[in-house]
Every structure is written in C-alpha cells, then in structure tokens.
C-alpha cells in the first residue's frame, strides 16, 4: 500500500525523480501510520525503519571492506591475514540462512565455504582475520542480528 501511495504521489506531482518518490514513500508511511494507529498489528511500522537502518549498515560495511581490499591491492605490501572461521548461526530457516550467507559473501574479503549438515554452523573464509572471536561477535551483533530483526 505504501508503494502504491508513493506511485500516486509521483503521478500527481508529475516529477519522476527518486527524491520525489522517497518523499512520497515517507508521506505514505505517515498517512498509513495515522490511519492504523489503533490497529493491533503494527509490525510494518516497526519493520520499515529497521530495513532502512539495515540498508545503511550494509552499505557502510560494503564501502569499508571495498576500501580495505582496494588499498591492499594497490599497495606493494600485502596485509592479508587469511583464515577460516567457524560461525555458529542464530538463523534457523532456509530463507534466513540463505540471506545471511548471501550478505556475508557480498562483503569483499569474506566467502562462505560450507554450511554444516545440521544447519547450525557456517564456515567462512576471511581475508583479514586478526581475531576469530571478534569477527564472530561483530557479525553476530551487527549483520545477523539486524537481518533477523527484519525477518522475524
């Protein structure tokens, strides 16, 4: 419904710019929130800010990793410290596991090697591994927690 309201806003204003669509989306979100204040199911209004926060978090991680890999490629000295990490997941369903592993693999410097048979552990190759426990903690508290907040 929010996307439909955004499309209507763009059609009414006649301006096909992404900023106009974003403004229409925010306006539609506000209108839907006003109309559904007394409803019991408010998941949408909590989920949209989390999705936006996740997008910004993931973009930040992507940019940071790209800069780290690019710096290592253009400098004559290599800073690689490769390693394989055993990562215990909180994700349970196949969809959650698939999204989590895709997001980890999209980040430069990391690659999913295997998923255990019981689907509770993934093995990740990390290009810049200084401390495995720190990597697991940051991934668990950052990427996985935010992703599961959106999906559950």
Task: List the end-to-end C-alpha distance of the chain, in Å, as a whole number.
Answer: 21
Structure tokens at 44: 């949408």
Q: Which 3 state secondary structure label does DSSP give 126?
A: strand
Q: Is 90 exceeded by the pLDDT of residue 40?
A: no
Q: Look at the pTM and tell me if it is higher than 0.85.
A: no
Q: Is 80 exceeded by the pLDDT of residue 135?
A: yes
pLDDT band of residue 41 (cuts 50, 70, 90) is confident
The CA distances from residue 45 to 18, 34, 39, 113, in Å, are 22, 11, 11, 36
Residue 60 near residue 145, CB atoms below 8 Å = no
Q: Is 80 exceeded by the pLDDT of residue 117?
A: yes
Mean pLDDT in residue range 113-132 = 96
Indicate the CATH number for domain 43-151. Answer: 3.30.70
Q: Which 3 state secondary structure label does DSSP give 122?
A: strand
Domain ranges of the chain: 2-35, 43-151
pLDDT band of residue 43 (cuts 50, 70, 90) is confident
The CA distances from residue 17 to 23, 49, 88, in Å, are 10, 22, 43
């Amino acid at each position: 419904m929010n996307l439909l309201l955004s499309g209507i806003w763009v059609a009414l204003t006649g301006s096909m710019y992404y900023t106009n669509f974003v403004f229409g989306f925010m306006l539609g979100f506000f209108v839907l929130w006003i109309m559904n204040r007394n409803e019991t199911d408010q998941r949408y209004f909590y989920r949209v800010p989390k999705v936006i926060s996740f997008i910004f978090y993931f973009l930040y991680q992507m940019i940071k990793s790209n800069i780290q890999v690019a710096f290592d490629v253009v400098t004559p000295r290599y800073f690689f410290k490769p390693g394989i990490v055993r990562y215990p997941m909180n994700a349970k369903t196949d969809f959650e596991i698939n999204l989590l592993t895709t997001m980890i693999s999209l980040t430069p410097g990391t690659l999913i090697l295997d998923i255990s048979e019981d689907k509770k552990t993934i093995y990740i190759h990390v290009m810049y591994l200084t401390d495995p426990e720190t990597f697991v903690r940051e991934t668990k508290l950052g990427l996985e927690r935010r992703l599961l907040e959106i999906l559950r």
